[in-house]
Amino acid sequence: MAKITLVEAVTMALAHELEHDPDVVILGEDVGINGGVFRATAGLAQRFGEDRVIDTPLAETMIAGMTVGMATQGMKPVAEAQFMGFIYPMVDHVISHAGRFRNRTRGRMHCPLVIRAPYGGGIHAPEHHSESTEAMFAHMPGVRVVIPSSPSRAYGLLLAAIRNPDPVIFLEPKRIYRLHKEEVEDDGEELPLDMCFVLREGKDVTLVTWGAMTKETLEATDKLAEQGISAEVIDVATISPLDMDTIYESVAKTGRCVIVQEAPKNCGVGAEIAANLADSQGLYSLQAPVKRVAGYDTVMPLFRLEKKYMPSVDRIIKAVNETLEVS
């Protein structure tokens, strides 16, 4: 079994579904012969034909609107937003239609679509190519928001997203697209949506994160271990709907929680996790205030400053130490 990167796992999952489900089609800008700007659809047009992997005009609203229309007629379209910074013209069709069709027609129509988008900073990209606005989608009823953080989870979660009968926004942390390789078997086994993954078990503090921030969080965990601090690491993976039970269970064990997100702090997914801990039995497990390590509430800087913006290993360790200082 070959070792593959996260982006190669995305390609493998797309190919698997194109192979096994004739209703699956891919559409987007440059997804065809070019294989996508990040190569996520490399080779697929050549293998499955240009009727299955469709290059569209350069019009994101059109991609989203047609994706909704196709989904309501029984197709399973997988659209690519070239970058999350270009996803905003699609938002009307997600919030006003994709998330509403099943509900507003009382089940007569539904929207089994996926919109994939590379997101997040750290690759020295031009303006508008580095933001993390996942919380915007998490706020929309009727839509699942899924973020893989490893090759195997990218494969299993994308299969589940495509097969899911409801709309899924699938955000791919592009900073770790090629960070490490993992053995992933192309066995068609999907992973459950709506569930967190425990990446490390620990007993002193729970670190909750998702996407590319799993990298810094795991590095921080290694450094904390050197200090004798045992951190449990949870990859949220599906940020909407949130699997709080896994987080409650962990915090019940550790008594401390630090949330790490690349997105701005204000009204982020971390705020929702912290709020859930505060207005549930989770509160009684806490021995220290919940800390959030997040991007600043500023505009995402251009790349000379982006590393200063994004949570670092040091910032995570500082937050953990602060929670541990509270006895």
Partner 1 sequence: MTTVASFSIDYVQHLSPEGQLVGDKAPPIATDFEQLKKLYELMVLTRVFDAKAIALQRTGKLGTYASSLGHEAVHVGMGAAMKYEDVFAPMYREYGTQFYRGVKMSEVLLYWGGDERGSNFSGPKHDFPWCVPIATQNLHAAGAAMTFKLRGQERAAVTVIGDGGSSKGDFLEAINAAGAFKLPLVLVIVNNQWAISVPRKKQSGGQTLAQKGIAAGLPSIQVDGNDLIAVHAVMDEALKRARSGGGATVVEAITYRLSDHTTADDASRYRPQEEVENARRFEPISRLRKYLMSNNQWSAQQENQLLKDCAAKVDAAVEEYLSTPKPAVTDMFDYMFAELPHDLAEQRQYALEMENNG
Positions annotated as catalytic residues are 129
Rule CB under 8 A: which of 87-126 touch partner 1?
Answer: 89, 92-93, 96-97, 102-110
Nearest Cα to Cα of residue 220 among 327, 323, 123, 135: 323
For position 216 contacting partner 1 by CB under 8 A, the verdict is: no
Q: Among 3, 34, 47, 74, which residue sits at the site for partner 1 (rule: CB under 8 A)? A: 74
For position 145 contacting partner 1 by CB under 8 A, the verdict is: no
Beta-bridge mates of residue 26: 53, 78
For position 289 contacting partner 1 by CB under 8 A, the verdict is: no
For position 71 contacting partner 1 by CB under 8 A, the verdict is: yes
Beta strand pairing status for 168-173 and 144-146? parallel
Contact present, 83 and 129 (Cβ < 8 Å): yes
What is the smallest separation between the CB atom of 144 and partner 1, expressed in angstroms? Answer: 8
Number of residues that bind partner 1 (CB under 8 A): 45
Contact present, 122 and 130 (Cβ < 8 Å): yes
Stretch that binds partner 1, among 160-168, 177-185, 211-219, 250-258 (CB under 8 A): 160-168
What is the smallest separation between the CB atom of 240 and partner 1, expressed in angstroms? Answer: 9
List the alpha helices (DSSP H) in the chain. Answer: 6-20, 44-48, 60-72, 91-93, 101-104, 134-138, 151-163, 213-226, 244-254, 269-278, 282-285, 306-309, 313-325
What are the tokens at 49? Answer: 């034909």
For position 142 contacting partner 1 by CB under 8 A, the verdict is: yes
Contact present, 145 and 138 (Cβ < 8 Å): yes
For position 279 contacting partner 1 by CB under 8 A, the verdict is: no
Q: Could you give the CA distance from residue 100 to residue 190 in angstroms, rounded to a whole number?
A: 25
What is the smallest separation between the CB atom of 197 and partner 1, expressed in angstroms? Answer: 16
For position 304 contacting partner 1 by CB under 8 A, the verdict is: no
Stretch that binds partner 1, among 50-58, 246-254, 256-264, 318-326 (CB under 8 A): 50-58
What is the smallest separation between the CB atom of 327 and partner 1, expressed in angstroms? Answer: 33
In three-state form (DSSP H/G/I as H, E/B as E, the rest C), the secondary structure along 258-296 is: EEEEEEECCCCHHHHHHHHHHCCCHHHHCCCCCEEEEEC
Q: Could you give the CA distance from residue 241 to residue 110 in angstroms, rounded to a whole number?
A: 18
What is the smallest separation between the CB atom of 35 and partner 1, expressed in angstroms? Answer: 20
For position 69 contacting partner 1 by CB under 8 A, the verdict is: yes
Q: Could you give the CA distance from residue 211 to residue 219 in angstroms, rounded to a whole number?
A: 14
Beta strand pairing status for 197-200 and 238-240? unpaired
For position 242 contacting partner 1 by CB under 8 A, the verdict is: yes
Q: Could you give the CA distance from residue 307 to residue 325 in angstroms, rounded to a whole number?
A: 27
Q: Could you give the CA distance from residue 296 to residue 138 in angstroms, rounded to a whole number?
A: 19
Q: Which is nearer to partner 1, 70 or 220 (CB)?
A: 70
Q: Which is nearer to partner 1, 55 or 186 (CB)?
A: 55
For position 67 contacting partner 1 by CB under 8 A, the verdict is: yes
What is the smallest separation between the CB atom of 208 and partner 1, expressed in angstroms? Answer: 16
Stretch that binds partner 1, among 2-10, 57-65, 121-129, 202-210 (CB under 8 A): 57-65
Binding site for partner 1 (CB under 8 A): 25, 51, 56-57, 59, 61-62, 64-75, 77, 89, 92-93, 96-97, 102-110, 141-142, 164-166, 194, 241-245
